[in-house]
């Protein structure tokens, strides 16, 4: 009965998404990206050397892709004869990384129905499958198990509130038991899996730390940001939503008068009307990245708005403080990219609790969860007035990243033991 209910819910979700196509761009990408997908898969897979084995990596979205990327690249370096296919559930992952050169094939993942899972596995014939963080698709895992194809989940994290650990969660526990190995981020997750008699587990940490280390090592110079900073103190707002700006704009309008701080704002999504509204509300002189010309005197401006996608991780190198968006809404965005460059970090106090790194950084006094404009103003001014505390917060963030590097190596050790078995 639960299996029927699961499959019905998957089909219902797909149907609802199809109804939203005329009104929602993401829904349109979600549906259009899956049209004729099995024919396109056949064409792509049949066009490769049949002697090549295939490694399949599945990521929900862009954040999970960045989490999985160090493992994808480590796998490619060690197993050069394998072809790599990367699949995405969400348009926000696929549309940004569809041209990623580290994979041979990049597709949307068809919805997790029994027939889709069967067709996908029959066409792709992966020799090993990887699922990043939260991806637990019952039918795909069952199909992999049927053909004895090893399935690995890594950078996975669990909480006691999840259905797997409830007395009535037997159906969901069976899904987890279809994995050959699960590599978890923290000790709590390890203990939770042991409590439901899952033994093929490793406490490996989070591969995102390895990814942000790669970002630091490969950071790009952004001349416009460098010229904007000059010798000034930069407060970076990363992945900003409207709910974040409602708190931050009054802060920006007051703090520039006190601390002479300038601001760089990177919206989570680029909407011209929204940016125009923010510029009208901000009392400081602002300019969009796309408006900068060779003759522009950037030091005449106090706010630089990044109206493009793809450079946020490198922008943090110019920051002295950072606010990470999303936590006044559905969920906090990536704090580690800022932390690795070493600076005090702020975020909303609503939706950060499920993010291990956010809780750790608060505990280490490198990050601060704020509820209001008054909150951020008070803490910011305290840090401005106490240089030792500010330096300690920055060091706590930087050291936290450095101390947690190494999860990719542990994943690859498990991969090696499976493939050499």
Q: Note the pLDDT of residue 52.
A: 87
Mean pLDDT for the stretch of residues 406-416? 97
- Looking at the predicted structure, is the pLDDT value of residue 317 above 90? yes
Task: Tell me the average pLDDT of the chain.
Answer: 94
CATH of domain 2-205+406-419: 3.40.50.11720
pLDDT attached to residue 46? 87
Residue 258 pLDDT: 53
For residue 284, give both structure tokens: 């400081």
Look-up of token digits 């600076």: 343
pLDDT band at 2 (very low <50, low <70, confident <90, very high): confident
Residue 400 has pLDDT above 70, yes or no: yes
Domain boundaries in the chain?
2-205+406-419, 217-403
Average pLDDT over residues 295-299: 97
- Tens-place pLDDT, residues 194-231: 999 999 999 999 999 999 888 888 899 999 999 999 99
pLDDT at position 388, please? Answer: 97
The more confidently predicted of residues 354 and 226 is 226
Question: Are both 2-205+406-419 and 217-403 of the same fold?
Answer: yes
pLDDT value of position 309: 86
CATH superfamily assigned to domain 217-403: Glycogen Phosphorylase B; (3.40.50.2000)
Q: What percent of the chain has pLDDT over 90?
A: 89
Q: What is this structure's pTM? A: 0.82
Whether residue 257 is predicted with pLDDT greater than 60 in this model: the reply is: no
Residue 259 pLDDT: 64
pLDDT of amino acid 256: 57
Query: Any idea which of 2-11, 245-254, 256-265 has the lowest mean pLDDT?
Result: 256-265
pLDDT (0 to 100) of residue 1: 76
**Per-residue 3-state assignment (H helix, E strand, C coil) for the chain:** CHHHHHHHHHHHHHHHHHHHCCCCHHHHHHHHCCCCHHHHHHHHHHCCCCCCCEEEEEECCHHHHHHHHHHHHHHHHHCCCCEEEEEECCHHHHHHHCCCCCCCEEEECCCCCHHHHHHHHHHHCCCEEEEECCCCCHHHHHHHHHCCCCEEEEEECCCCCCHHHCCCCHHHHHHHCCCCEEEECCHHHHHHHHHCCCCCEEECCCCHHHHHHHHHHCCCCCHHHHHHHCCCCEEEEEEECHHHHHHHHHHHHHHHHHHCCEEEEEECCCCHHHHHHHHHHCCCCEEEHHHCCCCCCHHHCCEEECCCCCCHHHHHHHCCEEEECCCCCCCCCCCHHHHCCCCCEEEECCCCCCCHHHHHHHHCCCEEEECCHHHHHHHHHHHHHCHHHHHHHHHHHHHHHHHCCCHHHHHHHHHHHHHCC
pLDDT value, residue 188: 95
Please state whether 402 falls in left (phi above 0), alpha (psi between -120 and 50) or beta. alpha
pLDDT digits (tens, 9 = 90+) for 72-114: 999 999 999 999 999 999 998 999 999 999 999 999 999 999 9
């Amino acid at each position: 009965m639960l299996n029927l209910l699961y499959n019905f819910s998957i089909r219902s979700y797909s149907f609802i998404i199809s109804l939203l196509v005329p009104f929602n761009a993401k829904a349109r990408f979600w549906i259009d990206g899956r049209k004729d997908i099995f024919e396109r898969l056949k064409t792509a897979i049949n066009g490769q050397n049949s002697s090549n084995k295939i490694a399949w990596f599945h990521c929900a979205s862009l954040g999970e892709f960045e989490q999985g990327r160090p493992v994808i690249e480590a796998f490619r370096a060690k197993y050069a004869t394998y072809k790599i296919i990367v699949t995405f559930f969400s348009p926000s992952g696929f549309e940004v990384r569809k041209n990623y050169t580290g994979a041979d094939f990049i597709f949307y993942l068809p919805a997790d129905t029994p027939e889709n899972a069967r067709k996908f596995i029959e066409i792709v014939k992966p020799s090993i499958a990887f699922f990043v963080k939260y991806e637990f698709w019952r039918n795909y895992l069952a199909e992999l198990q049927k053909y004895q194809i090893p399935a690995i989940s890594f950078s996975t994290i669990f909480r006691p509130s999840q259905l797997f650990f409830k007395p009535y969660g037997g159906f969901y526990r069976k899904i987890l038991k279809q994995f050959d190995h699960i590599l978890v981020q923290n000790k709590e997750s390890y203990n939770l899996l042991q409590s439901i008699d899952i033994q093929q587990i490793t406490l490996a940490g989070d591969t995102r730390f390895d990814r942000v280390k790669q970002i630091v090592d490969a950071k790009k110079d952004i001349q416009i940001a460098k010229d904007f900073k000059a010798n000034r103190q930069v407060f970076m707002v990363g992945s900003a939503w409207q709910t974040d700006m409602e708190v931050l704009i009054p802060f920006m309008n007051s703090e520039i008068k006190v601390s002479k701080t300038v601001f760089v704002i990177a919206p989570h999504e680029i909407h011209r009307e929204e940016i125009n509204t923010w510029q009208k509300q901000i009392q400081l002189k602002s300019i969009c990245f796309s408006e900068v010309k060779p003759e522009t005197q950037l030091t005449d401006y106090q706010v630089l708005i990044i109206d493009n996608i793809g450079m946020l991780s490198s922008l943090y190198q110019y920051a002295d403080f950072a606010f990470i968006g999303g936590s006044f809404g559905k969920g906090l965005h990536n704090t580690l990219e800022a932390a690795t460059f070493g600076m005090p970090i702020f975020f909303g106090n609503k939706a950060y609790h499920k993010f291990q790194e956010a809780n750790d950084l608060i505990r280490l006094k490198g990050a601060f969860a704020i509820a209001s404009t008054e909150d951020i103003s008070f803490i910011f001014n305290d840090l401005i007035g106490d240089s030792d505390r500010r330096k300690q917060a920055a060091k706590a963030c930087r050291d936290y990243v450095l101390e947690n590097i190494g999860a990719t190596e542990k994943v690859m050790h498990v991969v090696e033991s499976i493939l050499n078995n």
